[in-house]
Structure 1
């Protein structure tokens, strides 16, 4: 009998152990607020306690010192999709539909409301699938090396829609910028936004404001990538400069190491856009860091280093005056400093010198940016004061990476880990990965475990823009949104520019020995300039004669600079 009594006591109290404490406290608070909201057995259990209601509710809310904005409140379809409970949003949509029908004086039955809300919920599930997974089915690889996988998860039939439903108007409550939309209209926006030559990853961001800003910025019937005729000509001009520069070096210094940008020329107009749009949003100073790939192109086309100075160095000349001491370095490790002006906004640029150790320049750039920000925040006596994130908007750390190094070098993860700490934050850095899908001779599947080299950035909830480098308009568009996001939220952002490396790791290598399939495709593949020029000609923006004239004018400029390089003498060390 005693054993039976002990068993009964155990049955009544076995639930009272540490793992259930938080649940029981919440249930107790719920009981104190409304006793009928809990089961009768729990009512009997809690009735034995005589605690004050306010004390119980205060305890359930958590410690008084905890963050007031944490945990982040449930964010609509995000939570619904994870727990499978779409009932709250279904009820919300149903109520809105009823109110709209009443406002129009059109009665609507419960059956019609139920069907309409089910359609709305299924449409929102499909939209969320595109937001989450659309980038996996985007046209990102210029070479088309990997075949596209199955995308049933994005098909309307997966969400219960048939072909007969494609032109039926469905209430989506201003998602995608539309109150009502057909499946056909939704797919047009979703495919263009998430499955074209631009793919976006942002659903891992927990801040509802940042997530909503990105959705508002890229989704909608009028949010497509679009440039004026003058804007397109400006992009083409930068492609003419970047490709023409690399080809000129290849002709004049055949076989000499230059670690060319060939295949990733869209980087140059993208950097121009970051400087221009950043200047419009208050940016005054950009500290750049990058490895050797494409460095000479950035030095000349972005930083404004005279071409004659670079040609002088190719001939074996010194990069510094005779009175500057030092053992010297190769031309694709050197930095530069200059001032650029766009639309009346002056921006100072400084490219940090970089050793052969990839990515080690990252903390140098971040520290230099932080120091400049602190200097700008000093009071009139020169004493440093804690800088707010708004103040940090004026100085930007801009880092360029290779895909293999970004995923493989630990210093990248370390810098991300420090990025939000009070003593290290810089108001957000912009990262551009020159993803040529190879690391020296190593294919991505043998050098990293993640689908993208940029996956490391998800640790700090950075938005990631994957973009096909053969669509320079998409690249420039991604760059524009990236700098806008940084200036708005003062957080890091990543652009994963997927391109290819037209030649070997350096110009003396034969890459077909180790990547024969890739380089068979590359040798048949038109350059970004050729593809974009043809596109603009077909659009009627300019003629073939216009393109030829742009190329001829640029070649004439390079020839003149080449001749001037014969007698060029550096008069300062310009990398500081």
Structure 2
């Protein structure tokens, strides 16, 4: 328990009281609320704490003890919640027992003015504690008091405490929740019966994610969202595809029973890795475009890819308006706690080049990773403790309370739309089977799985709750079950009649004018030429600085040398790149380049952002070509390869008509992001029929800097190059660079 010795220090309290009398705005709100009540009951204008009778002074001390109790419920209440459906919570000390605050049982019936701190009138301590328990210690635990922005702290208090974190749902809402739970549980059970022995990575145990997502979509639409981008790994993915993305169920079943693909170029992948786009209609009648990104088996790899995709859509489709697109990333508890890519992605969240206006992170917390207990899988208290590095709030919610989940998700969306910050929702549930349906979990977690075996699923629990609350709707709920069962059987019968699996290409409308490369394309002569007069004009314009700004003398020298080059009919590497970018921008192709030190360039060659002398202002020549040019983006990335390369790959998926570049500080360093190269760049074409125009800059050379700066590990790319999946180019002249960059955009294939 933190030190509270100041409660008996009359001088300390009197100093704060004098500050209150002088200017109440400078002291903490908890003291201010108390002193408001203290002075309200006194007509003595010269009142000080030193002349207060002993009995009243004791009351003052007790008021502060109650204020500290309230403060600790806000800070530590999440440690004492009822959020775990199948396990007892770990013991945390000290508890929130009143004795730890110098209060006794006789105080429970005593009334305290401190109740005003949580929006209550003068109330008994018992009433205050019940209010706090309902708000912070039931099915919902909240971590937010570490956030350093007072407005956010105040916002959460005002949203949660007046209603005690109790969902405000109509009977129609509750029937919708039940319908979603039926769809989630019946879909999983149908797969289990019809496709015996096949892996599906069941959602069972966290089934309530389906009403959570569906209510989230409707609420987001009400808040002005027009698009949702979703990234998730395999757990529960099929159910999400069927019951949130609304992929036709017969097509999902077809992937189990089909014999071949209608696109012969696809080698295929397991069905729980596939992506999908769709338009769903929200309750308010508005259309909502939803995308689920394809993902490999590498857990969490899809997170930066999804956010890069979202960033591109925000820039291109929504005029950089964060409020129009909502990114959601669904994690597993073991993965979010241990995968380094999670930290890299989190650190992007507030950076200009990578921020997407806040992401809703949802953790499907099974309390186990494959066979590893959660106590063996992390050192942190929670799997979501990474949220604290960006001061993001965290909700911990019992997976057996779908109403609480719906409420929390709506609150999370409102927070995101208000503050454009990340928010995390930790759904405490379980995994009904092993890591997959053929795995035996009792080898390693016998006691846990004994509890799970005896535990009714959330649909059954919610059915009993609704029938008890509304006895007259029992038959209606049974009808919902029967109708969905019939729908599943009909979809299965349809799938049996369709032996050829249909492939709906991801983001088809954006990519319809492009195609996969063929062998002859690598010999194709693509026109990448530009009128010489235009090149000269652009070169001089880009390297002539505005007269009303002062620049570093060495910067001026570099730009003057470029003008001399063009006047002498020559170009160097930097000028060739600059002209390639400029001509593409002039032809309405956006250019984005990001990497470590990309603005200046690792080798001090690019100078795309020129700092105005003695200021922090930057001038970007490539952003000042004309009023009608396409956007130019250049960013110094955080010190990350894996996360940033994944982000830029995702960005390229939504930008087929643009030039998207990831630049390694040294080419050899790409091996830190090897997962993206292996699982996406080299193989996404064969697995998912996915196209990308991402360009990698991998500078290297034998210049005495040792083996880790010398080769760009070209042999790795040579091994991965197959089936016309990539272009590898070791350039020898600036002209090569100019034409190759333009060819990357002008080619009809990707």
Shorter-chain TM-score above 0.5: yes
User: What residue is the counterpart of 2:566 in the other structure?
Assistant: none
SS in 2 for 1:303: coil
The match for 1:130 among 55, 70, 73 is 73
Is this contact kept in 2: 1:225–1:474, CA < 8 A? yes
- Aligned-partner Cα distance in 2 for 1:317–1:110: 87
Question: Residues 357 and 169 (structure 1 numbering): CA distance in 2 closer, same or farther, change over 3 Å?
Answer: same
The match for 1:547 among 477, 485, 489 is 477
User: What residue is the counterpart of 1:373 in the other structure?
Assistant: 314
Q: Where does 1:429-444 land on structure 2 (aligned, <5 Å)? A: 429-444=359-374
User: What residue is the counterpart of 1:18 in the other structure?
Assistant: none
The match for 1:345 among 283, 286, 292 is 286
The match for 2:61 among 112, 118, 128 is 118
Q: Where does 1:201-350 land on structure 2 (aligned, <5 Å)? A: 201-220=143-162, 223-318=165-260, 321-322=262-263, 325-342=265-282, 343-350=284-291
User: What residue is the counterpart of 1:171 in the other structure?
Assistant: 113
- Aligned-partner Cα distance in 2 for 1:427–1:254: 43
- Aligned-partner Cα distance in 1 for 2:488–2:502: 21
User: What residue is the counterpart of 1:522 in the other structure?
Assistant: 452
Name the structure, 1 or 2, with higher relative contact order (CA <8 Å, separation 6+): 1
User: What residue is the counterpart of 1:362 in the other structure?
Assistant: 303
Between 1:545-554 and 1:419-428, the stretch displaced more is 545-554
- Aligned-partner Cα distance in 1 for 2:236–2:112: 49
How many positions carry a matched residue from both structures?
475
Listed one character per residue, the Cα deviations across residues 317-370 of structure 1 (whole Å, up to 9, x for unaligned) are 45x5336x2211110000111112221232110000001111111111111111
Q: Give the TM-score, by structure 2 length.
A: 0.61
Is this contact kept in 1: 2:251–2:502, CA < 8 A? no
Q: Give the TM-score, by structure 1 length.
A: 0.78
- Aligned-partner Cα distance in 2 for 1:402–1:473: 22
User: What residue is the counterpart of 1:7 in the other structure?
Assistant: none
- Aligned-partner Cα distance in 2 for 1:492–1:226: 24
- Aligned-partner Cα distance in 1 for 2:379–2:145: 21
User: What residue is the counterpart of 2:567 in the other structure?
Assistant: none
User: What residue is the counterpart of 2:506 in the other structure?
Assistant: 575
User: What residue is the counterpart of 1:143 in the other structure?
Assistant: 86
- Aligned-partner Cα distance in 2 for 1:156–1:311: 57
Is this contact kept in 2: 1:419–1:425, CA < 8 A? yes
SS in 1 for 2:486: helix
The match for 2:28 among 62, 76, 82 is 76
SS in 2 for 1:348: strand
Question: Residues 565 and 187 (structure 1 numbering): CA distance in 2 closer, same or farther, change over 3 Å?
Answer: same
- Aligned-partner Cα distance in 1 for 2:379–2:322: 35
- Aligned-partner Cα distance in 1 for 2:488–2:27: 55
SS in 1 for 2:384: helix
Question: Residues 447 and 117 (structure 1 numbering): CA distance in 2 closer, same or farther, change over 3 Å?
Answer: same
Listed one character per residue, the Cα deviations across residues 530-554 of structure 1 (whole Å, up to 9, x for unaligned) are 1111111111255543333222211
User: What residue is the counterpart of 1:158 in the other structure?
Assistant: 100
CA RMSD of aligned residues (A): 2.2
Between 1:294-303 and 1:217-226, the stretch displaced more is 217-226
- Aligned-partner Cα distance in 1 for 2:313–2:35: 54
Deviation at 1:403, TM superposition (A): 0.5
Listed one character per residue, the Cα deviations across residues 72-124 of structure 1 (whole Å, up to 9, x for unaligned) are x98827xxxxxxxxxxx657733542235449xxxx98336534432322111
Q: Where does 1:440-451 land on structure 2 (aligned, <5 Å)? A: 440-451=370-381
- Aligned-partner Cα distance in 2 for 1:519–1:222: 33
The match for 2:39 among 98, 104, 128 is 98
Deviation at 1:287, TM superposition (A): 0.7
Deviation at 1:491, TM superposition (A): 0.2
Is this contact kept in 2: 1:127–1:190, CA < 8 A? yes
SS in 2 for 1:261: coil
**Structure 1: which 4+ aligned runs deviate by more than 6 Å?**
none
Is this contact kept in 2: 1:189–1:221, CA < 8 A? no
- Aligned-partner Cα distance in 2 for 1:131–1:91: 18
